[in-house]
Amino acid sequence: MKIGWIQLGAGLIIGVIICIGLLFFSGILVTPADETTTTTSVSTTTRPPITSIRNMTATIPPTNTTITTASTKNVTQSSVEQLPADILSNETPQWSPFGTDLSGCSNGDNGLSSPPLYLETSYMIEPMGKIAGAHHITPTDHLYIYVDIVDDKLEDVLAPAAGYIVKIQRMSDREGTEDYRIIIEHSCTLFTYYIHLQELDPIIVNEIGKIVNFQSYHKRIAVSSGQVIGKVGKLLSYQRIFNQSSFDFALIDTTITLPGFVIPGHYDNEAWKIHTVDPFDYYEEPLRSQLLEKNFRDINPRGGKIDFDIDGRLVGNWFLDGTENYGARGVAGKSKAEWMDIYGRDVGECTSEYWDRDKGESIGIVPCDYWLGHLTFAYDNIIPDQIKISMGVFWDFEGGPPWGVKNNAPDPSSVDIETGIVKYEIFTDFENNIESEPFNIVGVLLVQMIDDQTIKVELFLGKSFEEINNFSEEARFYRR
């Protein structure tokens, strides 16, 4: 296995490129208007899309589908039949966090029983919580799987447990290569998703037909644990440096709400985020240990961590004053001049509707780069005692985020109102994700907690620790 920290650094660049593609994708949704007019399972839109898969309020009812397939490797396959309606819980909500209809779901076994790829496939797993300088400013809510590709041979991606594919979305092609996101419902409360699959299995294609760019397909397609659902391995130009393909994997358990989000409702545009859990905890032995051997992180939680908020402390996620929440609801419907005033910078031309899930309607447009209003004080996803800071509004500046902290102190979990002004001397160079001399110091970040849910922040790029002792008129306020 030829993979290391250089590849992970390259992964950051890859992530930015990929997310640019997502700008043209994730505005796809089925609105209540579609409910009265749509008779097909495929929805399209010409509205300018956004960088996150959000605002999903699908209203297309499920249909019964059975898929049977045989494995060519060491995973037993079986057909999965439509579950009887009487096993649906009376307390089941109508919609999943992904906006899919739950009327056909079951209260089944909430566990995983298949690896995402065959164990003999050469791959490694990066845990959740990666902090980037663009798009993923806050800790990333999925794992990354890096697959070694030999002689351009494609590798099978497997269903991690029995269930139903309930949504397939085709994103913008990358270098002419198809790009899919698949959501699988395993029970009324357990879901997995994959992002960046490059081919769908022929059995699934036969079931749904061809999906063109920016389309979503809604239908219940039964899958068995370990069934091949797609492939990866068509190397893009930058992936040929290390002959590695990659894709995303996440597990959602709606019976669990992560405690490290002070205001869970601020993530309503990505409603699954607050229910994202460590998938390793859902595997039984020996499979759990076999997968952990492929994982970069040696410290619990082995699958990483994304929720760091502590009320009254600096640690965790913050949103620029005026943006209100993760999806920038506060700027919805405002003019671009008002956006410039709030963000203090140009936010680009791309916009998208902000869908209010409670009102069931759009409340106006927001920038596609809603993440410009994000700020995070957290920790490295692989070496979790290393402080990491990222600030969306400076993503494209020379010396921009993510940043390490010289001397790795003070710990943001210890900073409160009584601490006063804190100076972080920040750097961008890492040697195996650990601070190292000589530091490439890029500036000083001042921060002060004003109250339990408000901070004052100012970045001084190109300044030394000794030069900066107080805020200027350029300081910004962030809130939970």
Judge if 13 and 80 occupy the same domain: yes
Spatial separation of the C-alpha atoms in residues 184 and 193, rounded to whole Å: 6
Higher-confidence position of 264 and 57: 264
pTM of the model: 0.80
Residue 152 has pLDDT above 80, yes or no: yes
3-state SS, residue 443: strand
Lowest mean pLDDT among 129-133, 157-161, 358-362, 392-396: 358-362
Q: Are 441 and 426 in contact (CB under 8 A)?
A: yes
Residue 303 maps to a domain:
no
Residue 129 has pLDDT above 70, yes or no: yes
Residue 164 has pLDDT above 70, yes or no: yes
Q: What type of residue is 81?
A: E
> In CATH, what number is assigned to the domain containing residue 203?
2.70.70.10
145 C-beta neighbours (distance < 10 Å), count: 23
For residue range 426-444, what is the model confidence (pLDDT) as tens digits? 998 655 555 555 568 999 9
Boundary-marking domain end, from 231, 260, 292: 292
Residue 67 has pLDDT above 70, yes or no: no
Predicted confidence at residue 108, as pLDDT, reads 76
Q: How confident is the model at residue 394 (pLDDT cuts 50, 70, 90)?
A: very high
What percent of the chain is modeled with pLDDT above 70? 78
Predicted confidence at residue 453, as pLDDT, reads 98
Q: How confident is the model at residue 385 (pLDDT cuts 50, 70, 90)?
A: very high
Predicted confidence at residue 93, as pLDDT, reads 64
Mean pLDDT in residue range 284-310: 98
Q: How confident is the model at residue 377 (pLDDT cuts 50, 70, 90)?
A: very high
431 C-beta neighbours (distance < 10 Å), count: 9
**H or E element in which residue 165 lies:** strand 163-170
Judge if 274 and 130 occupy the same domain: yes
Judge if 117 and 214 occupy the same domain: yes
Judge if 84 and 171 occupy the same domain: yes
For residue range 224-272, what is the model confidence (pLDDT) as tens digits? 999 999 999 999 998 999 999 999 999 999 999 999 999 999 999 999 9
Mean pLDDT in residue range 1-11: 45
Q: How confident is the model at residue 1 (pLDDT cuts 50, 70, 90)?
A: very low
Boundary-marking domain end, from 292, 324, 343: 292
Mean pLDDT in residue range 376-387: 96
Q: Are 141 and 306 in contact (CB under 8 A)?
A: yes
Residue 37 has pLDDT above 50, yes or no: no
Predicted confidence at residue 214, as pLDDT, reads 85
Residue 213 has pLDDT above 80, yes or no: yes
Spatial separation of the C-alpha atoms in residues 111 and 360, rounded to whole Å: 33
Residue 264 maps to a domain:
yes
Predicted confidence at residue 351, as pLDDT, reads 94
Q: Are 31 and 271 in contact (CB under 8 A)?
A: no
Spatial separation of the C-alpha atoms in residues 100 and 252, rounded to whole Å: 14
127 C-beta neighbours (distance < 10 Å), count: 25
Higher-confidence position of 149 and 92: 149
Judge if 319 and 248 occupy the same domain: no
Residue 439 maps to a domain:
yes
Domain that holds residue 256: 5-292
Spatial separation of the C-alpha atoms in residues 47 and 35, rounded to whole Å: 18
Judge if 160 and 69 occupy the same domain: yes
Return the structure tokens found at 166. 């309930």
Judge if 121 and 197 occupy the same domain: yes
Q: How confident is the model at residue 357 (pLDDT cuts 50, 70, 90)?
A: confident
Of 16, 89, 28, 17, the closest CA to residue 56 belongs to 28
Residue 302 maps to a domain:
no
Judge if 230 and 337 occupy the same domain: no
- Residue written as tokens 């992936």? 239
Number of compact structural domains in the chain: 2
Boundary-marking domain end, from 257, 292, 327: 292
Mean pLDDT in residue range 123-151: 96
Higher-confidence position of 46 and 419: 419
| Angle at CA of residue 296, ends 292 and 297, nearest 5° | 80
Residue 305 maps to a domain:
no
Predicted confidence at residue 4, as pLDDT, reads 46
Return the structure tokens found at 203. 């059995």
Residue 141 maps to a domain:
yes
Residue 200 has pLDDT above 60, yes or no: yes
Judge if 130 and 182 occupy the same domain: yes
Mean pLDDT in residue range 389-409: 94
Q: Are 182 and 194 in contact (CB under 8 A)?
A: yes
Mean pLDDT in residue range 59-64: 31
Spatial separation of the C-alpha atoms in residues 317 and 391, rounded to whole Å: 10
Predicted confidence at residue 360, as pLDDT, reads 84
Judge if 225 and 335 occupy the same domain: no
Residue 182 has pLDDT above 70, yes or no: yes
Residue 309 has pLDDT above 50, yes or no: yes
Predicted confidence at residue 148, as pLDDT, reads 97
Handedness of CA 36, 38, 39, 41 (dihedral sign): negative
Q: How confident is the model at residue 127 (pLDDT cuts 50, 70, 90)?
A: very high
Residue 130 has pLDDT above 60, yes or no: yes
Whole-number mean pLDDT of the chain?
A: 83
Judge if 349 and 241 occupy the same domain: no
Predicted confidence at residue 133, as pLDDT, reads 86
Predicted confidence at residue 27, as pLDDT, reads 38
Residue 52 maps to a domain:
yes
Mean pLDDT in residue range 187-208: 96
Residue 389 maps to a domain:
yes
For residue range 448-461, what is the model confidence (pLDDT) as tens digits? 999 999 999 999 99
Judge if 288 and 317 occupy the same domain: no
Cis amide bond preceding 438, omega within 30: yes
Residue 376 has pLDDT above 60, yes or no: yes
